[in-house]
Structure 1
Amino acid sequence: MKNNRRSFIKLAAVAAAGIAVAPKAAVAAGGHAAPIKKNPEALEAKRWGMVIDTTKLHTKEEIAALGEICHTVHNVPELEGPQELMWLWSDSYAHSFPEQENPHLAEEIHHRDYPLLCNHCDNPPCVRVCPTKATYKRADGIVAMDYHRCIGCRYCMAGCPYGSRSFNWGEPRKHLDLSKINPDFPTRMRGVVEKCNFCVERLAEGKLPACAEASHGAIIFGDLSDPDSNVRQVLRERYTIRRKPAAGTEPSVYYII
């Protein structure tokens, strides 16, 4: 009995010494305390925003092509019905801008398709209702997600007035072509929510969002806080609207109608 107790005390002492030394060893080995190297080519802004020119981008086929690019970059499987996952999709004027329906607009405007995505609101209700902080707002205004924190409660989906979030009811990896998976972006798992992230992984590499890059000028992306930015110039020169202004969310996505 005494020997067992003596052995236990010795082991406890060794463990305590190891705990005391571990942080120093981690620093020496470049652990958590090591500085994160920042890409000098990364694009930065105080508040990222987007302007979509629907006079240039307004057919279902054009929007679907951009959606396919977005979904390929972010490993979003193509599903149908209630299990459909959408980062970038299209809808009618009446559904996209229900509070701004105007019977005197040109008939052509009512028959266009409009590209929709997460609005990366300045006052995002999805962030407020998320119990685990899996949804959070970055310093640059992007509403991002930590998939590992998501518990699938779907409060964020209920809180979002734009229907910009999708839930993984099944295992999304089963519906991906393994030969076409983008290794630079994580795949998700069953039971988590996902949405457009303004291509934060591309911004970190100095690249524009995939949809903006492939839109041939129909999607303008830049810093809303910079009066000299490209988006601010467009907002000064063109009349734009945002989705559901009465919701008070202050979307960062604007539409030229």
Structure 2
Amino acid sequence: MNHTRRNFLKFAGLTAAGLCVASVGGVMAAGPGSTIKDGEKALKAKRWGMVIDSKRLGTKEAIEPLVKACHAVHNVPDIPGKQNVKWIWAAGFEESFDQPNNYMDEGLEKRQFALLCNHCTEAPCVRVCPTKATYKRPDGIVAMDYHRCIGCRYCMAGCPFGARSFNFMEPRLHLDAAKLNKEFPTRMRGVVEKCNFCVERLALGKMPACVEASQGAIVFGDLSDPASEVRKVLREHYTIRRKPALGTEPGVYYII
């Protein structure tokens, strides 16, 4: 009884905190035609993209600061067990790229890779969503409207990268109210969520949280601009993308 009461009070407190930022939450999660407004210093691009240096971010220990930064900014719950929600995580080569090689270099075989939503040009998750809760912005970011999500999980079945998480449990019970980011909405049970390339930070002129936490190991910018830093990095380094044969055209590249 006491345990149930504590959970109820914790949920009530987090719900109240969520309601305090309801207007912000609606803006951040809004779909096409939303009222979201860019600030004076907003960062803009025709096609946002990311390059991750896997040589510098090649261990779980190196990737963990990115995970913590991302999850703290976006109120991602830490739910024990297989039902944990993730926006960015670490995985081995074969899980990341689905390219088995019996004679792979040992260093590459043991390397970990930072995985997240690929914000595909031809995003299958967008096509299969029946309520348009998942949609693609003009700048190439695949975003979500949490209020439209009905929890059908079609997007999870359609995504070939495992980049989406479903809230089987009440996520607000697994958040620390003292550490809650009141500038970003919390979610509810039955809703899918994923990386959003930090659209709320871009609107304020800030780079994505993982980019800032990477200390230069992740480059983010406009793929359509030949003079951008991200295009410069792509010219100077050999990179690969996840499952390119599927034709989804991922917006995330990895320096190997």
- Fold shared per TM-score above 0.5: yes
Query: What are the Cα deviations for residues 104-150 of structure 1, in whole angstroms up to 9, with x where unaligned?
Result: 44210110111000000000000000000000000000000000000
- What residue ranges of structure 2 are gaps of 5+ in the alignment? 1-34
The within-5 A match list for 1:97-108 is 97-98=97-98, 100-108=99-107
The residue type equivalent to 1:217 in the other structure is G
Go from structure 1 to structure 2 and tell me whether the alpha carbon gap of 1:36 and 1:143 turns closer, same or farther (over 3 Å shift): closer
User: Aligned equivalents of 2:191 and 2:253: distance in 1?
Assistant: 28
Q: Does 1:83 align with 2:83?
A: yes
Local SS of the residue matching 1:136: strand
The within-5 A match list for 1:171-210 is 171-210=170-209
Report the counterpart of residue 130 of structure 2 in structure 1. Answer: 131
Report the counterpart of residue 166 of structure 2 in structure 1. Answer: 167
Structure 1 residue 101, shift from structure 2 partner = 3.4
Report the counterpart of residue 255 of structure 2 in structure 1. Answer: 256
The residue type equivalent to 1:83 in the other structure is Q
Report the counterpart of residue 158 of structure 1 in structure 2. Answer: 157
Report the counterpart of residue 3 of structure 2 in structure 1. Answer: none
Report the counterpart of residue 40 of structure 1 in structure 2. Answer: 40
User: Aligned equivalents of 1:245 and 1:63: distance in 2?
Assistant: 23
Structure 1 residue 38, shift from structure 2 partner = 3.9
User: Aligned equivalents of 2:131 and 2:222: distance in 1?
Assistant: 29
Report the counterpart of residue 92 of structure 2 in structure 1. Answer: 92
The residue type equivalent to 1:185 in the other structure is F
User: Aligned equivalents of 1:140 and 1:81: distance in 2?
Assistant: 35
Local SS of the residue matching 1:90: strand
User: Aligned equivalents of 2:103 and 2:50: distance in 1?
Assistant: 27
CA contact (8 A) 2:126 2:155 kept: yes
The residue type equivalent to 2:178 in the other structure is S
Q: Does 1:74 align with 2:98?
A: no
Go from structure 1 to structure 2 and tell me whether the alpha carbon gap of 1:191 and 1:36 turns closer, same or farther (over 3 Å shift): closer
Local SS of the residue matching 1:234: helix
Local SS of the residue matching 1:250: coil
Report the counterpart of residue 62 of structure 2 in structure 1. Answer: 62
Query: What are the Cα deviations for residues 42-86 of structure 1, in whole angstroms up to 9, with x where unaligned?
Result: 000000000000111111111122101100000001112221101
The residue type equivalent to 2:93 in the other structure is Y
Local SS of the residue matching 1:115: strand
Q: What number of residue pairs does the alignment pair up?
A: 222
The residue type equivalent to 1:189 in the other structure is M
The residue type equivalent to 2:144 in the other structure is M
Go from structure 1 to structure 2 and tell me whether the alpha carbon gap of 1:181 and 1:105 turns closer, same or farther (over 3 Å shift): same
More deviation in 103-112 or 131-140?
103-112
TM-score by length of 1: 0.84
The residue type equivalent to 2:57 in the other structure is L
Structure 1 residue 41, shift from structure 2 partner = 0.2
More deviation in 209-218 or 61-70?
61-70
The residue type equivalent to 2:41 in the other structure is E
User: Aligned equivalents of 1:150 and 1:234: distance in 2?
Assistant: 36
Go from structure 1 to structure 2 and tell me whether the alpha carbon gap of 1:104 and 1:237 turns closer, same or farther (over 3 Å shift): farther
TM-score by length of 2: 0.84
